[in-house]
Structure 1
Amino acid sequence: MAEESRKAQGKERQVVVSVRFPAALLEWIHAVAAVEGITANTVIRNGMDVYLQDRVASPAFQQASESYLAQAQAQVATARGLATSESERAHA
């Protein structure tokens, strides 16, 4: 990992999470960390960064994201419509 990335990462707020890994995967993570002279945490963070960047860039994710946003907008519009209708009935 480049020195700049380490410094930037050190400035970010980090949160501790608990994640379960199959034993074989954890052994693989530790092996990569040992070979590269970095921590297992760094291997996991780097791996998740690459995975998420690839995933978010995928057409399937883009389509799912657009669908999710459309559903959320429809729900808000429905909720606002109900609130408006209830408000109009209260003032009538």
Structure 2
Amino acid sequence: MVEPWVVIVIVVGVGALAYLANRLGWIDLSNKSKTSGTHGSVMGIGDEVFHPTRHEAQIELDRQTVLPAPAPVAGDGDKGVYDGKVTIDLGDR
């Protein structure tokens, strides 16, 4: 029979090793599925558990509907970045 203290030492050791590996960057335990905003309903939790394909499709739709800022092009200058003021001109709509 295994002594209880041996099990406790193993569990604490594995936890400490996982914490150390995360802090040193060997593994990444951050939650990358966090997205800003809501997913529309409380049933999103149910979809995540019981219909994961629908949940993943909703996350991908949310990613595709967010528009990134336009990338700078050569010759734009500093646009006031070094003055602490950033303006983005989207042009005429």
Which TM bucket (shorter chain)?
0.3 to 0.5
TM-score when normalising by structure 1? 0.32
